């Protein structure tokens, strides 16, 4: 029986195109800014709950269209990362952040063990269990999988402007997908492309290390600057761009 999500509140996992034929699996860890009703507003103003601290603005729109263009399976998580961050290990201090950028999150202070466990059990674990189960099934069927995570980043962080239009993130141990993607993006458009900028994949992440690197799956995490994908039409443009990139990189892997 749930203690956090009411019966009429949506399941945390968005799972679309489960019968899709392509090897690509698209994920979106921070797809939504929804808060469980029981948590109220976490002590935050409505404007703060719409900001990047709460979700990856534009990322779900890009991920959804990208999955359609690639005939790919999509798994996304609809609750705010201020409730629980599904791209952080369970022992991370930022799992239920008490401060995000320069903003305090009052509702996460003095969080009880029971309240934290409810967030893990009802939001975090269903998301990762879904990914684990479908990857197990694909492996059992002998299907190839290319793991693609879609995120977005704020153009200004703590007062510092970020010049990149898009970042291509990878772990140093596996650059199979990142290398051809970087080459394609740098030669097919006038973009400022970050190689492991503005972030990099490391032990503070959960999705790619746990689900892709552990299975030796080709993988990438895209970070798109959020002002470039705030509108629906811009999300479609970037999805088309990334679909072309990924098809190229997949072809390089197969040669």
63 domain-assigned: yes
Residue 6 inside a domain? The answer is no
Per-residue pLDDT of the chain (255 residues; tens, 9 = 90+): 689 999 999 999 999 999 999 999 999 999 999 999 999 999 999 999 999 999 999 999 999 999 999 999 999 999 999 999 999 999 999 999 999 999 999 999 999 999 999 999 999 999 999 999 999 999 999 999 999 999 999 999 999 999 999 999 999 999 999 999 999 999 999 999 999 999 999 999 999 999 999 999 999 999 999 999 999 999 999 999 999 999 999 999 888
Is residue 200 in some structural domain? Answer: yes
Among candidates 162, 173, 177, 174, which has minimal Cα distance to 224? 162
Q: How many CB atoms lie within 10 A of CB 49?
A: 17
User: What distance in Å separates the CA atoms of residue 218 and residue 199, rounded to the nearest whole number?
Assistant: 19
Cβ atoms of residues 44 and 103 within 8 Å:
yes
pLDDT at 50: 96
How many structural domains does the chain have? Answer: 1
Contact 88, 44 (CB under 8 A): no
**How many CB atoms neighbour CB 137 within 10 A?**
11
pLDDT at 255: 81
Yes or no: say if 229 and 59 are a contact pair by the CB < 8 Å rule: yes
Residue 255 lies in a domain: no
* HSE, side-chain direction, 13 A CA sphere, residue 116: 15
Confirm whether 8 is domain-assigned: no
Within a domain: residue 141? yes
> Strand 103-104 and strand 166-169: pairing?
unpaired
Cβ atoms of 83 and 123 closer than 8 Å: yes
Sign of CA dihedral 218, 234, 185, 246: positive
Q: How far apart are CA 74 and CA 56, in angstroms?
A: 16
Q: Does residue 238 sit within a domain? A: yes
Q: What is the pLDDT of residue 57?
A: 98
Task: Answer whether residue 5 is part of any domain.
Answer: no
**Which residue range forms the structural domain that includes residue 145?**
13-248
CATH code for the domain in which residue 86 is found: 3.40.630.40
Give the per-residue pLDDT at 16.
98
């Amino acid at each position: 029986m749930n203690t956090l999500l009411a019966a009429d509140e949506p399941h945390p996992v968005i799972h679309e195109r489960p019968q899709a034929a392509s090897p690509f699996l698209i994920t979106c860890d921070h797809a939504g800014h929804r808060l469980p009703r029981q948590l109220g507003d976490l002590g935050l103003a409505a404007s703060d709950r719409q900001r990047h601290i709460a979700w990856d603005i534009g990322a779900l729109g890009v991920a959804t269209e990208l999955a359609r263009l690639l005939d790919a399976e999509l798994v996304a998580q609809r609750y705010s990362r201020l409730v629980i961050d599904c791209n952080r290990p369970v022992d991370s201090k930022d799992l239920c952040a008490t401060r995000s950028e320069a903003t305090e999150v009052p509702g996460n202070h003095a969080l009880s063990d029971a309240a934290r466990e409810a967030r893990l059990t009802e939001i975090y674990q269903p998301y990762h269990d879904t990914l684990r189960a479908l990857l197990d099934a694909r492996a059992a069927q002998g299907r190839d999988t290319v793991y693609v995570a879609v995120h977005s980043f704020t153009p200004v962080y703590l007062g510092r402007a970020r010049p990149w239009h898009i970042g291509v993130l990878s772990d140093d141990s596996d650059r199979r997908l990142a290398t051809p993607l970087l080459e394609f993006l740098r030669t097919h458009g006038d973009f400022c492309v970050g190689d492991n900028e503005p972030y990099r994949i490391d032990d503070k992440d959960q999705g790619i290390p746990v689900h892709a690197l552990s299975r030796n799956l080709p993988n990438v995490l895209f970070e798109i600057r959020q002002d470039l994908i705030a509108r629906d039409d811009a999300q479609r443009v970037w999805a088309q761009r990334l679909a072309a990139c990924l098809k190229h990189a997949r072809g390089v892997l197969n040669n």
